[in-house]
Structure 1
Amino acid sequence: MKLLPLAALLLLVLTALEARPKPAALKCRTGPLDIVFVIDSSRSVRPFEFETMRRFMIDIIGNLDVGPNATRVGVIQYSSQVQNIFSLKTFFTRAEMERAINSIVPLAQGTMTGLAIQYAMNVAFTVQEGARPPHKKIPRIAIIVTDGRPQDRVSEVAAHARNAGIEIYAVGIQRADMNSLRAMASPPLEEHVFLVESFELIQQFGKQFQDKLCGG
């Protein structure tokens, strides 16, 4: 579990800004990934907060080497239901992904996180939806971003997803329930569970998360 209080996070961001390389060196070059963002769009997420989630996704995608033979990206949102925004096979340029993310209309209902994880496992990470076959050993990564407490069970379905080869990062914002984040995430928890103190800071957090995602 990694707690990011305001002062510590700002210090890390300032340090990263001072030491960051030129833009051409920011791309993730550790090999291809299959990444699915699982975004909470329940009614408790305010409009400006959802806009910040958009920026978080766009910032991370902007630093990935995306393409059919490189990193593939999918996005689903959830509340009381799950909606596929785009699949791993849909887009292969950052511009297309950014347009689709900016067009998302929040669902604004309940918070069925377990249902969203089930969908990711059974649908989003299937070969039919664009995931590379298991024998190719391309890492499958789910990034769950949520501000609330799930209204359904997450432990069992998350365990099934992890056993199916999906690496889960749980990013909680503000009111997120830490026990639920820990129940979702892959071990070691200190590398896969993050609690960001406010939505205002998630964009800066994304820059640090990029290093973690790319093994930096």
Structure 2
Amino acid sequence: MKQTFVAQRDGKRFEGQQQVIIAAFVYVKTQTQRPIFPVSCYLNVLVILDRSDSVKGGFNRSRDFVANVSDELNIGPNAHRVAMIVYSGLNYRREVFKWNFAKNNAEFQRTVLGLRAIGGTTNTKKALEIGLELMESRNKSIPTLIMVVTDGRSADDPKEPAKALQEIPNTWMFAAATGDPLLADRSFVLAIRSGA
């Protein structure tokens, strides 16, 4: 039996697995009356976003999810510093936005919402390897949050670079699958998250 979850935020309705995650963010925020990510803390945030659209319409859900989560950030050089890798393709096409590419939330959201799907397969392993390189140039004196957002299964095995990222001190890694929950490869998402 298919279970439907309903979540609403700022008058927008969200569907699928994305709803549950956003509902959790909204619930936590309304219960604590404080931002999820403390506004006054320094934090590196690396977003690794699958642009393949391997599940029809999946990229739009992934992109919108990232834009909505960014509402909880205080993006700026003296607060939450962001970098982003957007990846896809059989020939592995990517865009790398280096640390502090966005100076505020509005600039980050403009960039994210301006992205379009480019098709191809999901090559998460290569994107995580680029993430390892990008982590070398982060501010190592502050914590780092890595958020991997995908709509489908990877054509390659991401476990090795996921494990390497997890082992970086003061780093936390999360994965979100925004495609159809019934088609989601749970072991793939868990492999990215745990590196196991």
| Common fold by TM > 0.5 | yes
- Residue by residue over 1:160-194, the C-alpha shift from the partner in whole angstroms, topping out at 9 and shown as x without a partner, is 1212334210112322211111211138x9xxxxx
Q: Could you say what secondary structure the match of 2:189 adopts?
A: helix
| Residue 167, structure 1, aligned to residue 172, structure 2 | yes
Q: Which amino acid aligns with 1:6?
A: T
Task: Find the aligned partners of 1:103 and 1:121 in 2 and give their Cα distance.
Answer: 25
Name the stretch that deviates more: 57-66 or 159-168. Answer: 159-168
- Runs of 4 or more above 6 Å deviation: 8-12
Answer yes or no: is the 8 Å Cα contact 1:67–1:92 preserved in 2.
yes
Q: Could you say what secondary structure the match of 2:45 adopts?
A: strand
Task: Find the aligned partners of 1:90 and 1:8 in 2 and give their Cα distance.
Answer: 34
Task: Find the aligned partners of 2:66 and 2:97 in 1 and give their Cα distance.
Answer: 13
| Residue 107, structure 1, aligned to residue 143, structure 2 | no
Task: Find the aligned partners of 1:32 and 1:6 in 2 and give their Cα distance.
Answer: 37
Distance 1:53 1:21, change over 3 A: same
Answer yes or no: is the 8 Å Cα contact 1:41–1:50 preserved in 2.
yes
Q: How much identity, in percent, do the aligned residues show?
A: 23
Higher helix proportion (structure 1 or 2): 1
TM-score, scaled to structure 2: 0.74
Q: In structure 2, list runs of 5 or more residues that go unmatched.
A: 8-18
| Residue 66, structure 1, aligned to residue 75, structure 2 | yes
Answer yes or no: is the 8 Å Cα contact 1:45–1:108 preserved in 2.
no
Alignment match, 1:6: 4
Task: Find the aligned partners of 1:100 and 1:85 in 2 and give their Cα distance.
Answer: 12
Structure with larger RCO (C-alpha < 8 A, sep 6+)? 1
Aligned alpha-carbon RMSD (Å): 3.1
Distance 1:45 1:11, change over 3 A: closer
Quote the offset at 1:50 in angstroms.
Answer: 2.2
Q: In structure 1, list runs of 5 or more residues that go unmatched.
A: 190-216
Distance 1:39 1:11, change over 3 A: closer
Task: Find the aligned partners of 1:122 and 1:167 in 2 and give their Cα distance.
Answer: 16
- Aligned pairs for 1:24-39 within 5 A: 25-26=34-35, 28-29=37-38, 31-39=41-49
Task: Find the aligned partners of 1:26 and 1:168 in 2 and give their Cα distance.
Answer: 19
Distance 1:76 1:45, change over 3 A: farther
Q: Could you say what secondary structure the match of 1:45 adopts?
A: coil
Q: Which amino acid aligns with 2:52?
A: S
Alignment match, 1:120: 131
Answer yes or no: is the 8 Å Cα contact 1:42–1:108 preserved in 2.
yes
Alignment match, 1:97: 108
Task: Find the aligned partners of 2:5 and 2:102 in 1 and give their Cα distance.
Answer: 38
Q: Could you say what secondary structure the match of 1:142 adopts?
A: strand
Counting matched residue pairs gives 174
Q: Which amino acid aligns with 1:183?
A: A
